[in-house]
Amino acid sequence: MNIELINLPRFTDPRGNLSVVEQNENVPFDIKRVFFTYDVPGGESRADHANKTLIEFIVAVSGSFTVSLDDGKEKKKILLNKPYQGLLVNPMIWRKLEDFSSGAVALVICSDFYNEEDYIRDYDEYIRVRSKTIN
């Protein structure tokens, strides 16, 4: 599966810790957009789509949540719960963020600006498109 967990640099200090995200360094793309989700009600999920070309780097900056991933052949669940670790999700991976803890904040760093045409929001359509690219 075309994903990668990446540890960000951590600088620990009695006054609080600091982690750094730098484009083309620990995040392997130019950063065009950043957004975050928070106050997700219990039992709700976010994302539930694939992107045709967009690369995302997802970080649990507070609390925790699970990222469910599907590349058309394999399914994985990854718990994100460390603010110094992010999940790199490459194009054509179906993703769903779920099981948010109370107070969780999901930060998503993107390789491009928002473009609705890049999204596949219907899972059956995703499988049809993906099956054409899987050997």
- Catalytically active residues, by annotation: 49
Helix (H, G, I), strand (E, B) or coil at 77: strand
Phi-psi region of 30 (alpha: psi -120 to 50; beta: other; left: phi over 0): beta
- What sign does the dihedral 92-38-30-7 (CA atoms) show? negative
The two beta strands, 10-11 and 56-62, are unpaired
Please choose, from the candidates 28, 92, 40, the residue with its C-alpha nearest in 3D space to the C-alpha of residue 66: 40
- Give the Å distances, CA to CA, from 117 to 43, 53, 113: 28, 10, 11
- How many CB atoms neighbour CB 76 within 10 A? 12
